[in-house]
Amino acid sequence: MDSEIKEEIPVHEEFILCCGVETQVLKCGPWTDLINNQSGTRPKLLIFIIPGNPGFSAMYVPFAKALYSATKRRFPVWIISHAGHALAPRGKKILKSSEDPNAEEIKDIYGVCGQVEHKLAFLRTQVPKEMKLVVIGHSIGSYFSLEILKHAPELPNPG
């Protein structure tokens, strides 16, 4: 029965151009645009998963669905790919991300530091500033999570 519930959970796949690189984002729950959704139904917290290598987001979908179910479907769960690790299928629309006006050019977006900057740029442009954030990382994603928290203490956490 538990697996039947998880199958009913909507997962939206998007490809966003973030820092000039196609980035796959899998979004669990009905909220696909947190920035422009000003309604009273916008959640107050986002669970954000950063995968380990090889950065394949789809591998984390069962975990994301379980988290979404465990939180009684109150909070979105998003999974972001590593920069350059997922290409949009032919014909799939690639959304353009608004650029962070404070962002500097990422010289080595495919390196470790560049991957951290890539995730920071995504969070700054796709997640409202007042939204609380739970960051979950696996393997190298854990390192990225710690670096994000170190470099962006302004990002709200549930504290």
pLDDT tens digit sequence for 111-136: 999 999 999 999 999 999 889 999 99
**Cβ pair 123, 152 in contact under 8 A:** yes
Nearby residues of 12 by Cβ (< 8 Å), 6 or more positions away? 26, 27, 32
pLDDT digits (tens, 9 = 90+) for 58-102: 999 999 999 999 999 999 999 999 998 998 888 888 888 766 555
Say what the pLDDT of residue 114 is. 95
The confidence score (pLDDT) of residue 99 equals 65
User: What's the predicted TM-score (pTM) here?
Assistant: 0.88
Sequence-ordered strand ranges (E) for the chain: 11-18, 21-28, 45-50, 77-80, 94-96, 132-137
3-state helix, strand, coil in the chain (%, to 5): 30, 20, 50
- Are the C-beta atoms of residues 118 and 24 closer than 8 Å to each other? no
Local confidence band at 158 (pLDDT 50, 70, 90 cut-offs): low
